[in-house]
Amino acid sequence: MNLMIDSILVLLMLAGFLLLTSARLTTCIKIAALQGLMVGLLPVAACGSVLTYRIGAIAMVIACMKGLVFPYLLSRTLRESNTIKELKPYVGYTASIFFGVLSLLASFWLDSRLHLPVAAGSGLVIPVAFSMMMTGIFLIMARRTAVNQVIGYLVMENGIYSFGLAIVRDVPLLVEVGVLMDMFMAVFVMGIAIYRINREFDHMDSDQLNSLKG
């Protein structure tokens, strides 16, 4: 099963890089959906042969939400707006790739320094999780369109989720459900927020949202 975890992790990493270079928002949403789907599969791969109902059910729910529901919500908001492409990001795509490489290196370095107790089956999980968190925060800061910022938030959440999977054996069910519901609501509310911003401003570049200062 180790091979399966490792291949999922490599795909997660690649998805992060693709997000850093893609300008078309529909492509970004699709990549984020794929990444979410794979993050959902991660616990199934990590548990090896002892697949319990609980792990299976949670994996299903997460894969559905991150892989289907969130992307659907995002593409719906996108359809109602006129934005197709991220035209002028704050940080260009070449520079973004450099950041991606640097963040990956930094993640491996951090992992080698921290000696975190790894509960999941692969040593790659923690560095990949770190790099996803950094990529997510980077996307939020470096992109103008609100949809891309939500995608950044999703990528960051994916990173935190994988990180939790790697270091905590199992979180109480109630807490897990609460966290999932909150994340779902957060993305949902962001979707409504974009819709309202869109209606008010006729576009959804968050760089127009800069009149409040001081």
Partner 1 sequence: MNNGFELPVLVALPVLFAGICLVLPSAMAVLRFCVAGAVLVAAAAGMVVLAVFRGPQVTAAGNWLRLDALSAYHLVVMMMVFVISAVFAVSYFREEISHGEFEVKRARRYGGLWFGAMAAMMLVLVSNNLGIMWVGIESTTILTAFLICIHTTPGSLEAMWKYLVMCSVGVAAAFTGILLAAASAGPAGMHSADALLWTNMMASASKLDPVLIKAAFIFIVVGYGTKAGLAPMHNWLPDAHSQAPAPVSAIFSGFLLNAALYCIIRFLPIVEAVTGNSGWGREILVFFGLLSVVVAAVFIIGQRDVKRLLAYSSVEHIGLVAAGIGLGGLGSFAALLHMFNHSLCKTVSFCCAGKVGQVYGTHDMKVTTDIIRKVPVWGAGLTVGILVLIGVAPFAVFLSEFIMLKSMVDGGRFWLAGIFLSGLGIVFIGALRHAISMAWKPQADGATAPGKFPLLDAFLVFVPLAVLLALGVWIPSQLSVAISRATAVLGGSL
Residue ranges in contact with partner 1 by CB under 8 A: 114-117, 133, 137, 140, 146, 149, 153, 156-157, 160, 163-164, 167-172, 174-175, 178-179, 181-183, 185-186, 189-190, 192-193, 196-197, 200-201, 206, 209-212, 214
Which residue number, 88 or 115, has a Cβ lying nearer to partner 1? Answer: 115
Task: Compute the least distance from the CB of residue 3 to partner 1, in Å.
Answer: 26
Please choose, from the candidates 186, 196, 198, the residue with its C-alpha nearest in 3D space to the C-alpha of residue 65: 186
Task: Compute the least distance from the CB of residue 180 to partner 1, in Å.
Answer: 10
Task: Compute the least distance from the CB of residue 154 to partner 1, in Å.
Answer: 11
Q: What is the CA radius of gyration of the chain?
A: 17
Which residue number, 3 or 175, has a Cβ lying nearer to partner 1? Answer: 175
DSSP state of 145: B
At position 176, the amino acid (one-letter code) is E
Contact by Cβ (8 Å): 83, 56: no
Distances (CA, A) of 199 to 69, 92, 104, 204: 23, 28, 38, 9
Which residue number, 21 or 206, has a Cβ lying nearer to partner 1? Answer: 206
Task: Compute the least distance from the CB of residue 171 to partner 1, in Å.
Answer: 7
Task: Compute the least distance from the CB of residue 94 to partner 1, in Å.
Answer: 25
Which residue number, 3 or 172, has a Cβ lying nearer to partner 1? Answer: 172
- Neighbouring residues of 38: CB distance < 8 A, sequence distance ≥ 6: 8, 11, 12, 15
CA–CA gap between residue 86 and residue 22 (Å, rounded): 8
Which residue number, 49 or 117, has a Cβ lying nearer to partner 1? Answer: 117
